Amino acid sequence: MLTSGDTGDVTLTVCFGILVLAGLLGNILVCLVILLNRNMQTPINYLLLNLAVADIITVTFVSPQYIFIHAFSHPTGVAGDYLCKFITGGNISWIGGVASVFSLVGIAFERYQAVTNPYRPLSKFSLSRVKAIVICCWLFTTVFNMPLFFAIYYNEEARFCSEAWPSPAYGKANSTVWLLVVGIIPASIMAFLYSRVVYDLWFTQLNEQATQIAVRKSRKKVTKVVLIVSVIYVISWFPQLTVYVLSNYHDTVQFGNFSYIASVVMVTFNSAVNPVIYGFQSERFRQHFKQLLCCRRKMQVTPQGAAAVAQQAQQGND
């Protein structure tokens, strides 16, 4: 007979299992679509590729902590501590999670420059600039998460990986910094940038030619997709960041209890849902998803089709 606690654990494990599977399959599809199709290899899509890689890392390394832990007996002692630091404690998944957040910030800057300063050469996102952003993103994310590798250990009493700081003040400071750096600051930056982008695209009236109207329409579609992804990031991450702060300031919320794990489910959902958004909101991603899933050969290209592909490639840079 399952108790209410057991039922809750089973429910969360099932949720994690579904989200991990969906996140892996969906984000791998995103990577393949961008890498295998030249017309998809644009600066913003390379940033989406980085986001997909970060999401793959997140969902892959969250599984040992919340899925496989119920099927295997966790080692104790020194081996248990190191396993928590690198596998079952979720530190690697948090590296992926933070990288996905800063990928979204990079995407917001790309949209801002493409829409508000489209004719300034220095404002355009070149592939070299995208590479620099990606490298800085992962370097910062890794350094930012380093304190957790020292704090995480295996709690034999709780039979769960826990945090142990030299003093409670360190835990409070770390959780507060997380709320600021991963939550409030990125959300504020994206809110400012996208407010300008939305104003310029939807509320600015210009006398435009047919080609400019087509470009504006393309920019609206791309902006709509990344804006939805950014809003879902805010909805998914802030419960976890709030619970994390509360767990360090109040004893009522403990690291690893139901509310904490439920908030991690929301973060995992954020990593799994992005490919679904691309499929529903982006016709180009949807078409390439269908081609990959149906294992279709390259479609016969007509003169009209070739012109359409060329136009899509041009608009992709916008």
- DSSP secondary structure string for all residues of 89-107: T-HHHHHHHHHHHHHHHHH
**pLDDT tens digit sequence for 233-250:** 999 999 999 999 988 888
CA distance 99 to 82: 23
Pairing label, strands 160-163, 152-155: antiparallel
Q: How confident is the model at residue 307 (pLDDT cuts 50, 70, 90)?
A: very low
Q: How confident is the model at residue 308 (pLDDT cuts 50, 70, 90)?
A: very low
Choose among 19, 36, 20: nearest CA to 295.
36
**Contact (Cβ atoms closer than 8 angstroms) between residue 145 and residue 98:** yes
Task: State residue 209's pLDDT score.
Answer: 62
Q: How confident is the model at residue 169 (pLDDT cuts 50, 70, 90)?
A: very high
Q: Is the pLDDT of residue 104 over 90?
A: yes
Task: State residue 71's pLDDT score.
Answer: 67
**Contact (Cβ atoms closer than 8 angstroms) between residue 71 and residue 36:** no
* pLDDT (average), residues 287-306: 62
Eight-class DSSP state of 123: G
Q: How confident is the model at residue 314 (pLDDT cuts 50, 70, 90)?
A: very low
Q: Is the pLDDT of residue 316 over 70?
A: no
**Contact (Cβ atoms closer than 8 angstroms) between residue 272 and residue 278:** no
Burial class (CB in 10 A: 0-12, 13-18, 19+), 107: buried
**pLDDT tens digit sequence for 175-221:** 999 999 999 999 999 999 999 988 888 887 666 666 667 777 777 88
Q: Is the pLDDT of residue 305 over 60?
A: no
> What's the chain's average pLDDT?
83
CA distance 245 to 177: 9
Q: Is the pLDDT of residue 3 over 80?
A: no
Helix (H) / strand (E) containing 161: strand 160-163
The tokens 């802030």 sit on which residue? Answer: 238
Task: State residue 96's pLDDT score.
Answer: 95
The amino acid at 309: V
**What are the CA-CA distances from residue 308 to residues 77, 142, 314 (Å)?**
62, 41, 10
Positive or negative CA dihedral for 275, 30, 64, 176? negative
Helix (H) / strand (E) containing 228: helix 210-249
Task: State residue 262's pLDDT score.
Answer: 83
pTM surpassing 0.75? yes
Q: Is the pLDDT of residue 252 over 90?
A: no
212 vs 75: which has the higher pLDDT = 75
Q: Mutual orientation of helices 210-249 and 43-66 as an angle, nearest 10°?
A: 30
* pLDDT (average), residues 117-137: 80
3-state secondary structure of 55: helix
**Contact (Cβ atoms closer than 8 angstroms) between residue 198 and residue 227:** yes
Task: State residue 301's pLDDT score.
Answer: 41
**pLDDT tens digit sequence for 128-168:** 889 999 999 999 999 999 999 999 999 888 778 888 899 99
Task: State both tokens at 242.
Answer: 């709030």
256 vs 263: which has the higher pLDDT = 263
Buried b (16+ CB within 10 A) or exposed e, 137-175: bbeebeebbebbbebbbbbeeeebbbbebeeeebbeebb
306 vs 59: which has the higher pLDDT = 59
The tokens 């909101």 sit on which residue? Answer: 281
Q: Is the pLDDT of residue 25 over 70?
A: yes
Helix (H) / strand (E) containing 162: strand 160-163
CA distance 137 to 99: 6
- Of 76-80, 200-204, 269-273, least confident by mean pLDDT is 200-204
